[in-house]
Structure 1
Amino acid sequence: METKFNDLQINNYKPLREIVFEYLRNSILKGELQPGERLMELQLAQKLGVSRTPIREAIRKLELEGFVEMIPRKGAYVADLSVKDILDILEVRMFLEGLSAYLAAQRMTDEEINKLKDILKKFEDDFETMSKEDMIELDIKFHDMIMEGSRNNKLLQIIQGLHEQFQRFRVIYFSEYKEHEDIKKYHRAIVESISNRDPKRAQQYAQTHIQMIEESILKWKKKNKSKED
């Protein structure tokens, strides 16, 4: 993990423990700190150029927010997302994104739809050469634009409250599950439905897209379980 901590200190008047907390949380969300990875206070303090106290305080806060698990006599570890956790997240996403697509098909402007098409084209054209980080960034832009196009502030508030859970899932999905070709197919179908101002079909494809991801996870779970047996 390469530290960018000195950059974070520039013009930042937050308490040191908050700066360290945000740095570590972002490292977890980006997948730079992997599920199951041990958080060594001394090692982190040396990398970030701080004492162990703000590291310890940040780890405690991360534990309270579910990002870190404390294991007796072993220490602090980045909390894993179980398959059950991921499927729970997907159940929520299925309905929220289905509703977003339904409303976006009615409310997005033509200019916004053209921007959505541009994101889709970039995803399709650069798919083979894109890094995992670029895939995740484009996926976030794609879904965020549809959600914003819903013009429903309450829906956006709910989605933003779950943003970090969605982000952790995306890192795991793009790292572990290889059926990315289907993502392009469903993204294309969603864009076409929104462009055609067909809210029911947009909702259907948005929800089927999430169901496809759920099925691939269950398949992955079954495959890995058979290996363990």
Structure 2
Amino acid sequence: MIDPQEIADTLDVSRTPIQEALTRLEQEGFIEIIPQVGIFVRTPTSEELFEKLISRAVLEGLLTKWATPRIGDEELRLLEELAELMNAGQLTAEAYSLVNREFHNVIHVASGLHYVRLLVEHQWNLVDYTAVIDFVFQPENMRRSSEDHLRILTHMKNREADEARKAMEAHVMRVAHLLRERWRG
């Protein structure tokens, strides 16, 4: 159970900013506030996570479509470097996760769609919060992910916005279904 007064005392601040932060965490699905009972860390259900991932697939597809005609040569070179790093097969699951997120982030920023980026970031954080990195980034999954990234990058380099969107959506949907199968099994 989370004690707002203890947090306020530890940080030497009033309860107001703590309550505001806790309200935001509740809105984002990280905690649950039950009046007259307490504040608890919340674990999202597998179905919630699946729905967030499929909605993220669509949103990331949109970001990719918008980024494709806008992305510069420098960002494309960075994507190539990141894709090569992921394709080398030398990264731990945690390191792959960080490089993977940077790959996606380069595309998100290039899209110029700030609000959609924030939505994706929130959903990404919630999935990371569930600590499924070691499962998602097992060797076979990293190999398939790397192939997906190369496909997305190729379409972006060729300025094929719709194909890049479809490749990104398929990439994130593959992860959504992978996790759904894990949760069911």
TM range, smaller chain: 0.7 to 0.9
Residues 1:90 and 2:49 aligned together: no
Alpha carbons of structure 1 residues 72 and 128: separation in structure 2 relative to 1, 3 Å: farther
Provide, for residues 67-105 of structure 1, a one-character-per-residue CA deviation record: whole Å limited to 9, x for no partner: 211357864221112122212212222222222223333
Please report the RMSD computed on the Cα atoms of aligned residues, expressed in angstroms: 3.0
CA contact (8 A) 1:136 1:170 kept: no
**Which is greater in Rg?**
1
Match for 1:108 among 63, 71, 76? 71
One-letter amino acid matched to 2:64: A
Deviation (angstroms), 1:44: 5.4
- Judging changes above 3 Å, is the alpha-carbon distance between structure 1 residues 110 and 56 closer, same or farther for their aligned structure 2 residues? closer
Instruction: Give, in whole Å, the separation in 2 of the partners of 1:97 and 1:198.
Output: 15
User: Within 5 A, what are the aligned runs for 1:124-135?
Assistant: 124-125=87-88, 128-130=90-92, 132=94, 134-135=95-96
- TM-score after normalising by structure 2: 0.76
Cα deviation, residue 208, structure 1 = 0.9
1:53 & 1:101 partners in 2: Cα distance? 41
Give the equivalent residue in structure 1 for 2:86.
123
Structure 1: where are the runs of 5+ without partners?
Answer: 1-37, 224-229
Partner letter of residue 146 of structure 2? K
Count of equivalent residues: 180
Q: Which residue of the partner structure matches residue 101 of structure 2?
A: 140
| Equivalent-residue separation in structure 2 for 1:198 and 1:72 (angstroms) | 52
1:174 lines up with 2:140 in the alignment: no
**SS at 1:180 equivalent:** helix
Q: Structure 1, residues 96-116: CA drift from partner, whole Å, max 9, x if none?
A: 222222333323222221111
Q: Which aligned pairs between 1:6-155 and structure 2 lie closer than 5 A? A: 38-39=1-2, 48=10, 50=12, 53=15, 57=19, 58-59=21-22, 62-70=25-33, 75-125=38-88, 128-130=90-92, 132=94, 134-150=95-111, 153=112, 155=113
Structure number with higher relative contact order (C-alpha < 8 Å, ≥ 6 residues apart): 2
Give the partner amino acid of 1:102: K
Q: Flag the structure with higher helix content.
A: 2
Q: Give the gaps of 5 or more residues in structure 2.
A: none
> Aligned equivalents of 2:72 and 2:169: distance in 1?
22
Aligned-residue sequence identity (percent) comes to: 20
Distance 1:81 1:138 in 2: 25
Contact 2:61/2:165, CA 8 A, preserved across alignment: yes
Separation in 2 of the partners of 1:213 and 1:106?
26
Deviation at 1:49, TM superposition (A): 5.4
